[in-house]
Amino acid sequence: MVKVNFVCVGKLKEGYLRDACAEYLKRLSRFCKAEVRELPERNSPKEEAEEILRACRGHVIALAIEGRGCTSEKFAEDLRALTDRGEEITFIIGSSCGLDACVKSAANELLSFSEMTFPHQLMRVILLEQVYRAFMINARSEYHK
Protein backbone atom coordinates (compact mmCIF):
# COMPACT_ATOMS: atom_id res chain seq x y z
CA MET A 1 0.00 0.00 0.00
CA VAL A 2 1.39 3.38 -1.02
CA LYS A 3 2.23 5.94 1.64
CA VAL A 4 0.97 9.51 1.35
CA ASN A 5 2.41 12.09 3.74
CA PHE A 6 0.94 15.48 4.52
CA VAL A 7 3.51 17.85 6.03
CA CYS A 8 1.62 20.80 7.48
CA VAL A 9 3.00 23.82 9.29
CA GLY A 10 0.72 24.79 12.16
CA LYS A 11 -1.93 23.02 14.18
CA LEU A 12 -5.63 22.87 13.40
CA LYS A 13 -7.25 25.10 16.00
CA GLU A 14 -10.91 24.51 15.20
CA GLY A 15 -12.67 21.28 16.10
CA TYR A 16 -14.72 21.20 12.91
CA LEU A 17 -11.53 21.30 10.82
CA ARG A 18 -9.97 18.49 12.88
CA ASP A 19 -13.17 16.45 12.44
CA ALA A 20 -13.18 16.98 8.66
CA CYS A 21 -9.52 15.98 8.37
CA ALA A 22 -10.09 12.89 10.52
CA GLU A 23 -12.99 11.86 8.28
CA TYR A 24 -10.94 12.14 5.08
CA LEU A 25 -7.98 10.34 6.66
CA LYS A 26 -10.33 7.51 7.63
CA ARG A 27 -11.70 7.35 4.08
CA LEU A 28 -8.18 7.41 2.62
CA SER A 29 -7.15 4.41 4.72
CA ARG A 30 -8.71 2.02 2.20
CA PHE A 31 -6.42 3.33 -0.56
CA CYS A 32 -3.16 4.32 1.11
CA LYS A 33 -1.31 4.74 4.35
CA ALA A 34 -1.93 8.44 4.98
CA GLU A 35 -0.06 10.33 7.67
CA VAL A 36 -0.24 13.97 8.73
CA ARG A 37 2.81 15.53 10.31
CA GLU A 38 2.21 18.88 11.98
CA LEU A 39 5.23 21.11 12.34
CA PRO A 40 5.36 24.18 14.59
CA GLU A 41 5.02 27.64 13.10
CA ARG A 42 8.17 29.70 13.42
CA ASN A 43 8.86 33.39 12.92
CA SER A 44 9.43 33.06 9.19
CA PRO A 45 9.21 30.52 6.34
CA LYS A 46 13.03 30.41 6.29
CA GLU A 47 13.04 29.17 9.91
CA GLU A 48 10.48 26.47 9.03
CA ALA A 49 12.28 25.25 5.90
CA GLU A 50 14.82 22.85 7.41
CA GLU A 51 12.24 20.93 9.43
CA ILE A 52 9.87 20.77 6.44
CA LEU A 53 12.59 19.34 4.21
CA ARG A 54 13.57 16.74 6.84
CA ALA A 55 9.96 15.53 6.94
CA CYS A 56 9.69 15.00 3.18
CA ARG A 57 9.87 11.56 1.59
CA GLY A 58 9.52 10.32 -1.97
CA HIS A 59 7.84 12.50 -4.58
CA VAL A 60 7.33 15.93 -3.02
CA ILE A 61 4.45 18.20 -4.03
CA ALA A 62 4.42 21.64 -2.44
CA LEU A 63 1.26 23.71 -2.47
CA ALA A 64 2.06 27.16 -3.80
CA ILE A 65 -0.05 29.81 -5.48
CA GLU A 66 2.44 29.97 -8.38
CA GLY A 67 2.24 26.20 -8.93
CA ARG A 68 0.44 24.53 -11.79
CA GLY A 69 -3.30 24.21 -11.60
CA CYS A 70 -5.23 21.21 -12.81
CA THR A 71 -8.63 19.57 -12.80
CA SER A 72 -9.58 16.88 -10.32
CA GLU A 73 -9.39 14.36 -13.18
CA LYS A 74 -5.83 15.41 -14.09
CA PHE A 75 -4.83 15.35 -10.43
CA ALA A 76 -6.21 11.80 -10.20
CA GLU A 77 -4.29 10.78 -13.32
CA ASP A 78 -1.05 12.19 -11.91
CA LEU A 79 -1.64 10.52 -8.54
CA ARG A 80 -2.33 7.20 -10.28
CA ALA A 81 0.97 7.44 -12.17
CA LEU A 82 2.85 7.96 -8.90
CA THR A 83 1.04 5.18 -7.04
CA ASP A 84 1.42 2.76 -9.97
CA ARG A 85 5.18 3.25 -9.63
CA GLY A 86 4.85 2.62 -5.89
CA GLU A 87 6.27 6.03 -5.03
CA GLU A 88 5.82 7.48 -1.58
CA ILE A 89 4.24 10.92 -1.90
CA THR A 90 4.59 13.97 0.32
CA PHE A 91 2.35 17.03 0.10
CA ILE A 92 3.51 20.21 1.83
CA ILE A 93 1.26 22.97 3.17
CA GLY A 94 3.19 25.91 4.55
CA SER A 95 2.18 28.30 7.28
CA SER A 96 0.12 31.42 6.76
CA CYS A 97 3.40 33.09 5.68
CA GLY A 98 3.93 30.58 2.87
CA LEU A 99 6.93 28.44 1.98
CA ASP A 100 10.55 29.43 1.72
CA ALA A 101 12.05 29.42 -1.78
CA CYS A 102 14.41 26.55 -0.86
CA VAL A 103 11.41 24.31 -0.02
CA LYS A 104 9.75 25.18 -3.32
CA SER A 105 12.92 24.49 -5.29
CA ALA A 106 13.47 21.16 -3.48
CA ALA A 107 9.96 19.95 -4.34
CA ASN A 108 9.41 17.78 -7.40
CA GLU A 109 6.47 19.96 -8.31
CA LEU A 110 4.43 22.94 -7.19
CA LEU A 111 0.66 22.61 -7.18
CA SER A 112 -1.91 25.39 -6.96
CA PHE A 113 -5.55 24.81 -6.16
CA SER A 114 -6.54 28.32 -7.16
CA GLU A 115 -5.20 31.79 -7.77
CA MET A 116 -7.13 32.72 -4.63
CA THR A 117 -5.58 32.51 -1.19
CA PHE A 118 -7.07 30.07 1.34
CA PRO A 119 -6.40 29.82 5.08
CA HIS A 120 -3.72 27.16 5.48
CA GLN A 121 -5.86 25.30 8.03
CA LEU A 122 -8.78 25.07 5.58
CA MET A 123 -6.36 24.11 2.81
CA ARG A 124 -5.55 20.93 4.72
CA VAL A 125 -9.19 19.85 4.51
CA ILE A 126 -9.35 20.78 0.82
CA LEU A 127 -6.16 18.86 0.04
CA LEU A 128 -7.28 15.74 1.92
CA GLU A 129 -10.62 15.84 0.13
CA GLN A 130 -8.98 16.20 -3.29
CA VAL A 131 -6.57 13.32 -2.62
CA TYR A 132 -9.54 11.20 -1.53
CA ARG A 133 -11.47 12.34 -4.63
CA ALA A 134 -8.49 11.35 -6.81
CA PHE A 135 -8.42 7.85 -5.36
CA MET A 136 -12.20 7.60 -5.85
CA ILE A 137 -11.91 8.76 -9.48
CA ASN A 138 -9.22 6.14 -10.07
CA ALA A 139 -11.46 3.52 -8.45
CA ARG A 140 -14.24 4.57 -10.85
CA SER A 141 -16.50 5.43 -7.96
CA GLU A 142 -19.57 7.63 -8.26
CA TYR A 143 -18.20 9.99 -5.60
CA HIS A 144 -16.90 12.31 -8.33
CA LYS A 145 -19.72 13.47 -10.57
Per-chain mean pLDDT for the chain: 96
Model confidence at 120, pLDDT cuts 50, 70, 90, reads confident
Q: Please give the pLDDT value at position 143.
A: 86
DSSP structure class, residue 60: E
pLDDT in tens, 51-90: 999 999 999 999 999 999 999 999 999 999 999 999 999 9
Please choose, from the candidates 62, 50, 43, 60, the residue with its C-alpha nearest in 3D space to the C-alpha of residue 110. 62
Answer for the pair 131, 4: CB distance below 8 angstroms, yes or no.
yes
> Is the pLDDT reported for residue 145 higher than 80?
no
Global confidence as pTM: 0.96
Fold for the domain defined by 3-138: Alpha/beta knot (3.40.1280)
